[in-house]
Every structure is written in C-alpha cells, then in structure tokens.
Amino acid sequence: MYGLEKRESNMNSDVNKEGLQAKAELMQQEQLFACLDELKPSLTPKPHNLLPDRHANRDFFLADLFDYAMKDDGASMEAPIFTLSTKPDLTTWNWESKDGNKKIEVYPSVKGRATQFDKDVLIFVVSQMTEALNRNREDAKNRTVRFVVYDYLVSTNKPTDGREYKRLRSSFERLRGTSITTDIRTGGKRVQEGFGIIDNWTIVEKAPDDERMIAVKVTLSKWLFNAVQAHEVLTIHKDYFRLRKPLERRLYELARKHCGHQSSWKIGIELLREKCGAHSHLRAFKSQVIAIARSGTLPEYRLVYDQENDQAWFHNKNSKKLAGFIGQ
C-alpha cells in the first residue's frame, strides 16, 4: 500500500514538473515575442537607408517609352491648322466648318506658319503621353514634356544626321510662333484666348562636340493638352511617316478621322480642298488628288476620284472591316 502511494506521489511530482516546465517555456516565448516587437522598427528598412527619390514629383513628363501606338489628336485632324506649303507661309488662315459650328484662325510668325511636317513633334509627344496615361503614370499629367531627340527622329522615320537636328529647331520655332484662336473645344473646355501650338521649348542637353540637341523640353498648349488628357486621339498607321508629300499626310488624316468607323467616305473636291487647307487653285488641287489616288500610297485607305460627281472617295483597305460593313 505504501509503495502505491509513493508511486502516485512521484507521478504527481512529475506532472507538476512538466507543468512548470511548459509554463516556463511559454513565458520564454512571450518574452521572445516581446523582444521581437521592440526590435521590429530597427529591423524594418527605413527610407533614410535608401538613396532619395530625387524625381518623385518632377514637373515634366518624361517621354521614355519604346512600345506604344502612334496617336493624333482629333481636333487638329479635323481643322486645317498646318500649312501644306514647303516654303515659309506668311498668310493668315481662316477656316469654318460646313455647319458653322467650328471656327479657327491661324496666324503665322515671321518665320511662317507651322507645317504639316512640324506636326510630327506633336504626334510623337501625344503618342507617348497617351500611352503613359494608359499605364497610369502620374508624370503624364504634366503639360511639359522632356524627350531625347534621337528617339524622336527614329520614331518618326527621320534621318539622324545633323541636318535633322537643325530642322527640328526650326519646327520648334514655327510651332511656338504660330498663334491660334478657335471655338473648338478639347476635353470639353474652350480656351478663351489666343495661344501658340506649343507654349515654349528649351534645349536641356547638348552634344559635347557640337551644337546638336540631345534632350529637349516642350510645353504643350492647354488646348492640345486638354485633348490628350481626355483621350480625344486616334491611332494612326506608322507608315504615315513614310508619306513624302504634305498633302498625302493631310488626306490620310482626314480619311482616318472620317472613315475610321465606316467602310468608305465621300467628299466633294472643293470641300476637300478647304478641309486640307490648300492654297492651290481648285483645278491644280484636283490634279494632285488624282495623282495621289493613282499612286495608292495612303496607308489603310484607297482613294478614288469620282469624275461624274467630282468627289474623292476613300475606301477602307481592311477587307474584314469592309466585309463587316457590307454585311450589315
């Protein structure tokens, strides 16, 4: 009997020891967790351990994208802002839409009105900014854009020799000097004052051995900027930059604007001349249109001259899209 009581006493003692040991281990774990909580702030990387983000809130958009679609703003595709002349155009240009709802006046600088080729700068910037907005980049909400000149030349299918850098400088001067007044709204807003196509431009980096521009800053007009921010843009074909003649480029813009969601678009030659902003006489303009129609150079669209009705007829070359419209 005594032996049984002794064994029970030993068992109770062992249980108590195990309980005390478990309690001690639990207390050690709690102390360890408490220590870790105290150490957490020192173990977590702090911002001051990293180099500062020196451009977190930069006041310009950096046009540094490589994969993007070319975009053109709808307002300047509709209205003939840019001259088709390859010589300095010093004339004031007035245009009014057929329904009278849209008007625009364009005033040149002493160096002439901005040309259809000068517009390449805007297409490049608008394309980059639109893609950046699609990627939710905060810097794309700035009107000032910085870009590398070489990237611009390559993207717009231009040579990269020294002459193109000089031509770009001339383009900047005409874009800055050309003044516009219009009642055409962009982004639902109307700019109630005359404005330049761009507000200003600045060379921010030059080549070490000559005067070539390496990087530049361009500030867009509020009118154009509002259009981009509201996504009032259309994708254009990359072969637009392979078109040699200003009129070819202008005809493509109009076809893209008016024939984008339909199989074809017809327009009278006289009205087409007004929409193109051509200075040439109607007969000469008609001959130019017929020559372009025969060449078949316009990307995406086939141009046909309808002699009986004296009209230009633009057809979508996309057979699937054309078949879809025919089947409707």
44 and 74 assigned to the same domain: no
165 and 295 assigned to the same domain: no
Q: Is residue 56 part of a domain?
A: no
Flag whether pLDDT at 320 surpasses 90.
no
Give per-residue pLDDT as tens, 11-33: 455 545 555 565 556 566 666 55
Give per-residue pLDDT as tens, 166-181: 999 999 999 999 999 9
Contacts for 161 with CB less than 8 Å, ≥ 6 apart: none
25 and 74 assigned to the same domain: no
Q: What pLDDT, on a 0 to 100 scale, did the predictor assign at position 57?
A: 62
Helix (H, G, I), strand (E, B) or coil at 62: strand
Contacts for 175 with CB less than 8 Å, ≥ 6 apart: 114, 118, 121, 122, 196, 197, 198, 201
Domain that holds residue 319: 261-328
Give per-residue pLDDT as tens, 244-294: 999 999 999 999 999 877 889 999 999 999 999 999 999 999 999 999 999
What is the distance between the alpha carbons of residues 251 and 81, in angstroms, rounded to a whole number? 14
170 and 266 assigned to the same domain: no
312 and 219 assigned to the same domain: no
Alpha-carbon torsion, ordered 240, 245, 250, 253, to 10 deg:
-10
What is the distance between the alpha carbons of residues 10 and 27, in angstroms, rounded to a whole number? 26
29 and 71 assigned to the same domain: no
Q: What pLDDT, on a 0 to 100 scale, did the predictor assign at position 302?
A: 96
What is the distance between the alpha carbons of residues 144 and 128, in angstroms, rounded to a whole number? 12
What is the distance between the alpha carbons of residues 160 and 155, in angstroms, rounded to a whole number? 11
- Bridge partner residues of 195 (DSSP): 180
178 and 204 assigned to the same domain: yes
Q: Is residue 242 part of a domain?
A: no
76 and 17 assigned to the same domain: no
80 and 205 assigned to the same domain: yes
28 and 70 assigned to the same domain: no
Q: What pLDDT, on a 0 to 100 scale, did the predictor assign at position 99?
A: 85
Q: Is residue 92 part of a domain?
A: yes
Q: For the chain, first and last CA: distance in Å?
A: 105
Q: Is residue 254 part of a domain?
A: no
Give per-residue pLDDT as tens, 218-230: 999 999 999 999 9
Q: Is residue 246 part of a domain?
A: no
pTM: 0.79
Q: Is residue 252 part of a domain?
A: no
What is the distance between the alpha carbons of residues 236 and 101, in angstroms, rounded to a whole number? 26
147 and 46 assigned to the same domain: no
Q: Is residue 55 part of a domain?
A: no
Length of the chain: 328
Q: Is residue 220 part of a domain?
A: yes
73 and 211 assigned to the same domain: yes
What is the distance between the alpha carbons of residues 11 and 177, in angstroms, rounded to a whole number? 101
How many structural domains is the chain composed of? 3
- Bridge partner residues of 148 (DSSP): 215
Confidence category of residue 327, pLDDT binned at 50, 70, 90? very low
What sign does the CA torsion over 186, 187, 189, 193 have? negative
Flag whether pLDDT at 42 surpasses 70.
no
